[in-house]
Amino acid sequence: MIPLSPSGLDADEFVTLDDSTAPTTPEGSLSFSPQLHPQDVSAYLNGGLQNNGAPLSPDLFDAAAQPPAVRNICCVGAGFVGGPTAAVIAFHNPHIQVTVVDRDEKRIRRWNSKHPPIYEPGLNDILRIARDGSRACVFANGPTTYESTDAACEAAAPGLTSVGARQPNLVFTTDLAKCVREADVVLIAVNTPTKSRGNGAGSATDMAAFEAVTALIAQHAKPGAIIVEKSTVPCRTAQLLALHRPGVPFQVLSNPEFLAAGTAINDLLHADRILIGSHPTPSGHRAAAALASVYASWIPSSRIITTNVFSSELAKLVANSMLAQRISSINSIAAICDATGADVDEVARAIGADPRIGSKFLRAGIGFGGSCFKKDVLSLVYLAETLVLPEVAAYWRGVVDMNEFARNRFAARVIKRLNNTLMGKKVAVLGFAFKKDTNDTRESPALDIIRTLGEEGPREVAVFDPLCIPAQMEEEIARFVEPGALQRDGGPVAVYADVYAACRGADAVLITTEFDEFRNAPVTGGQGGAKVAKSGGGLVDPRPFQQHEVEQHESHLLALQSFLRQRAPDAEDPLDRFSPMPPCADDCPVCLAEHVNGTSGHGAGKELACKSLVDWQKISYHMKRPRWVFDGRGVLDMAAMEKIGFCVEIVGRQSRTIVGNINGQR
Ligand SMILES: NC(=O)C1=CN([C@@H]2O[C@H](COP(=O)(O)OP(=O)(O)OC[C@H]3O[C@@H](n4cnc5c(N)ncnc54)[C@H](O)[C@@H]3O)[C@@H](O)[C@H]2O)C=CC1
Ligand SMILES: O=C(O)[C@H]1O[C@H](OP(=O)(O)OP(=O)(O)OC[C@H]2O[C@@H](n3ccc(=O)[nH]c3=O)[C@H](O)[C@@H]2O)[C@H](O)[C@@H](O)[C@@H]1O
C-alpha cells in the first residue's frame, strides 16, 4: 500500500491506495504518465467518508464552509493558456495579486513589453489595465457626442462619471520559488504534449514539464496552499500530485481550461462553464469554494460546475475528443460528397438544424490542427489501452486517423489536378496558423501540406499568413518541414509578408487556414463563423451606468471602450485610461518584422480592428491559367470565384454553376 499524503487539514481525509495506482515509469524518471488499471477508486474519492454521490455545488457558497480568502495567485506557465487566463483573472480581481512565472526568460520579457508573445483579439486591453494599471478617467454617462478626456477632473460635472486610478496587479517573472511561496492558489498551466519516446510514445501524455513544476511547487508552496491543475492532464493525475509532499497539507483541484485560440479572451470573459474538480471532503469543498470565489468576480455562479477531481480531469479530455470527433465525422462525409455530388455544406446545414446535433463544429476541410485536439484524443486512446479497453481505444484512434486522411486527401487532390506533377510549378499556400485569428502554428495542417507539396519538386511553394511573423514562420518551416526546405537553404519554400507577392505567377493557390481575410465575400452568418469587419458597428451603447457598477466591474468600462472605438476606430484609448506601455527588447520579433516590412499587421500587439478582404481579382490577374484555387477551409463562394475566372475546388462542396464535374472526378 502506498500512503497518500493528507490532502487537507481534516484527519478523516487521509487515505491509502492500492499499489496498482502508482506511476509505472521507473523511479527517478522526470517523465511519467499515469498508467492505470481498472479498479475501485472510491476510497480515494470518498476520502474515507461515505460517498453519497451528492453534487458539490450546493455547499460551495454555504456560510458554514467558509472558503479561505484568496489574496495572491501564482500561475506557472506563461503560454497560450497561462498568460491570457492570469490576465483575465487579474483584470476582474483588482484586489488579488496575480503573478505569472515561466522558465523561458525571453517569453517573460515579451509579456513585460508592448508586444506580448501571443496574439489574441482583446488581450491587449486586458493586459494594459491589469499589468500596467490605469489612470483616473471621466466620461459622459449617457449617449452624447461629448467625451471628456480630462483624467485630472476630480469633481465630475453633472452627467459625467469618474472612475479612479487602478494599481497594477499582474506581474510576469521567472522567479518561481518566490512567486509560489507567496501564493494562496497556484495554477499549473505548463505544456503537456504527447510523449515522443519511451513507454506510451505517440499517445501517452508527456508529463515531464508538469511533474518538474509540481516538484518545485511542493518544495516551495506554503502549507494550506491550493494547487490547481489548469493544464490538460490524464485522468487521476491529482492523485499522483499528492505524492509529492507527504505529510504537508495542500489541496489539489482540477480546473481545466476550455478557451480556444483566436477567441481566448472572449472565451475567458464569457465562459459557458467553469469546471472545478475537488476531493469531496470538507477541505476539498473549501478549496473549490475559494477558487470559485475568484471566478465569481465575473462568472455567474450558475455556470460554475463542481465535480470530483477525476471527473473533471476526464471531462476535459472528453470535451476535446468529442469536438475533434465532430470534425472527423463531417470530413468523412465530405469525402462521400466529393464522390457523389452531394454538398457537405448543405448536409451540415440540414443535420445541424436538428437541435440534438447542433450546427457548430461541422465545417469540413483539411481537418483539425492545434496543440490539443490530437494529443487529447490520443491521451484518451492511451487511457483506454491501459484500462484494457482495446475497442474503445480503436474507436477514438479513428478520429485521428480520419483527420490525417482529410489532410492527405486534400494534398493528393491538388497534385492530381496539376497533372500529377509540380515540377517547375509555383504553388501558394495561404494560411500558416492552425486556425484563424491566432499566430499559433502548433500542429498546423499547413505544415504537412507544405511538406507533401515540397516533395513533388515544385519551382516554389510560397507561404503567406496574415498574423504570423515571417521570420518565425521560416524558423518553423526549417524545424518542422525539413531542414533544407527553405529557398535560402536550396529548397523550394519561400515565406512572404505580402499576399499578392506570394500568389504572383502561381499555378495554384491553396487556402489552408480559415482567415476571414481570404474570403471573397463577407460572412453573413451560418456555418462559417465570425463576420468580417462590421462596418456599421453593431455594439450597443452600454450607458448609463450606476456609479458602483463602474467602480466594481471592469467589464462595464471594457464594453464602453469597445463601443466608443466602434464609433472612432482610430481611437486606441477612447477613455484615456491607459498607462504608457513598457518598451520592447531589441530582439522583439514584432518590432523587427515591422522594421523590415514597414507597418504590418503581423504578430501580437496589433488588433485586427478592420480586416480587409484579399482582392481575388488582383490575384487572378497575375496567376497562371487555368488559375487553380483549392480551398481547404470552405471560406470561398465558389460561384463568385468561378465568375472571375478561377478554377475552384473546395473540400466536399460542389460547384453550383458547373454541374456535372462529379462522379469519381475528384
Ligand atoms: N493552447 C490552448 O488553446 C489550450 C491549452 N490547454 C492546455 O493548457 C496547457 C498549457 O498549454 P499552452 O499554454 O498552450 O502551452 P504553452 O507551451 O504555450 O505554454 C506552456 C508554458 O509553460 C512553461 N514551462 C514549462 N515547464 C516549465 C517549468 N518547469 N517552469 C516554468 N515554466 C515552465 C513553458 O516555458 C511555456 O511558456 C496544456 O496542458 C494544454 O493542453 C487547455 C486549453 C486550451
Ligand atoms: O484544449 C484546447 O486546447 C482547446 O482546444 C480547442 O480549441 P482550439 O484548438 O484552440 O481551436 P478550435 O476552434 O477548436 O479549432 C481546432 C481546429 O479545428 C478546426 N476546425 C474547427 C471547427 C470546424 O468546424 N472545423 C474545423 O476544421 C480549426 O480550423 C482548427 O484547426 C477547443 O475548441 C477548446 O475548447 C479547448 O480548450
Task: Print the SS3 string covering 132-165.
Answer: HCECCEEEECCCCCCCCCCCCCCCCCCCEEEECC
Is the CB–ligand 1 distance for residue 205 below 6 Å?
Answer: no
Is 237 known as a binding-site position? no
Q: Are residues 487 and 413 in the same domain?
A: yes
Q: Are residues 622 and 488 in the same domain?
A: yes
Domain boundary among 291, 310, 329: 310
The enclosing domain of 12 has a CATH number of: 3.40.50.720
Is the CB–ligand 2 distance for residue 80 below 6 Å?
Answer: no
The pLDDT of residue 29 is 33
d(CA 656, CA 658): 6
Tally of structural domains, the chain: 3
The pLDDT of residue 8 is 32
Residue 227 falls within a domain, yes or no? yes
Is the CB–ligand 2 distance for residue 515 below 6 Å?
Answer: no
Q: Are residues 144 and 185 in the same domain?
A: no
The pLDDT of residue 397 is 98
Which range among 294-308, 496-510, 610-624 shows the weakest confidence by mean pLDDT?
610-624
Closest ligand relative to 79 C-alpha = 1
In 3D space, the residue among 493, 404, 398 whose CA is nearest the CA of residue 448 turns out to be 404
Counting ligand 1 atoms within 8 A of each CB, the residue from 371, 437, 440, 476 with the most, and so the one to mutate, is 371
Q: Are residues 367 and 432 in the same domain?
A: yes
Is 375 known as a binding-site position? yes
Q: Are residues 162 and 220 in the same domain?
A: no
Average pLDDT, the chain: 85
Q: Are residues 468 and 545 in the same domain?
A: no
518-561 pLDDT per residue, tens: 999 876 544 333 333 333 457 888 888 888 888 778 889 989 99
Is 232 known as a binding-site position? yes
114-162 pLDDT per residue, tens: 999 999 999 999 999 999 999 999 998 887 654 445 544 444 445 888 8
The predicted model gives 175-203 an average pLDDT of: 97
Residue 538 falls within a domain, yes or no? yes
Identify the domain containing residue 455 by its residue range.
Answer: 321-530+611-650
The pLDDT of residue 499 is 97
| 3-state percent breakdown (helix, strand, coil) of the chain, nearest 5 | 40, 10, 50
Residue 467 has pLDDT above 60, yes or no: yes
Is 369 known as a binding-site position? yes
Residue 216 falls within a domain, yes or no? yes
C-alpha cell at 566: 466602434
Strand partners, 590: none
**Of 8 and 99, which is predicted with more confidence?**
99
Q: 57: Cβ–Cβ under 8 A, 6 or more apart, which residues?
A: 304, 305, 306
d(CA 90, CA 78): 14
Domain boundary among 261, 276, 310: 310
The C-alpha angle with vertex 53 and arms to 52 and 54, in degrees rounded to 5, equals 90
232 Cα nearest atom in ligand 2: 1
Q: Are residues 469 and 571 in the same domain?
A: no
Contact 321, 391 (CB under 8 A): no
C-alpha cell at 585: 527588447
Is the CB–ligand 1 distance for residue 371 below 6 Å?
Answer: yes
In 3D space, the residue among 196, 198, 207 whose CA is nearest the CA of residue 238 turns out to be 207
Residue 511 has pLDDT above 50, yes or no: yes
d(CA 386, CA 203): 11
Residue 605 falls within a domain, yes or no? no
Q: Are residues 154 and 254 in the same domain?
A: no
153 given a catalytic annotation: no
Q: From the candidates 337, 372, 468, 584, which is the catalytic residue?
A: 372
28: left (phi over 0), alpha (psi -120 to 50) or beta: left
Is 192 known as a binding-site position? yes
Cα distances from 215 to residues 16, 47, 185, 654, in angstroms, run 21, 23, 16, 56
291-320 pLDDT per residue, tens: 999 999 999 999 999 999 999 999 999 999
Strand partners, 649: 630
Is 513 known as a binding-site position? no
Q: Are residues 489 and 354 in the same domain?
A: yes
Taking the centre of ligand 2 as the mean of its atom positions, its distance from the CA of residue 493, in whole angstroms, is 27
The pLDDT of residue 598 is 64
Counting ligand 2 atoms within 8 A of each CB, the residue from 435, 438, 633 with the most, and so the one to mutate, is 435
In 3D space, the residue among 132, 87, 573 whose CA is nearest the CA of residue 298 turns out to be 87
Taking the centre of ligand 2 as the mean of its atom positions, its distance from the CA of residue 273, in whole angstroms, is 17
107 Cα nearest atom in ligand 1: 37
Contact 141, 545 (CB under 8 A): yes
Q: Are residues 563 and 470 in the same domain?
A: no
Residue 373 falls within a domain, yes or no? yes
Taking the centre of ligand 2 as the mean of its atom positions, its distance from the CA of residue 520, in whole angstroms, is 23
Is the CB–ligand 1 distance for residue 439 below 6 Å?
Answer: no
- What is the pTM assigned to this prediction? 0.88
Residue 315 falls within a domain, yes or no? no
In 3D space, the residue among 173, 253, 184, 189 whose CA is nearest the CA of residue 222 turns out to be 184
Domain boundary among 281, 310, 339: 310
Q: Are residues 87 and 100 in the same domain?
A: yes
Counting ligand 1 atoms within 8 A of each CB, the residue from 31, 102, 107, 206 with the most, and so the one to mutate, is 102
Q: Are residues 259 and 330 in the same domain?
A: no
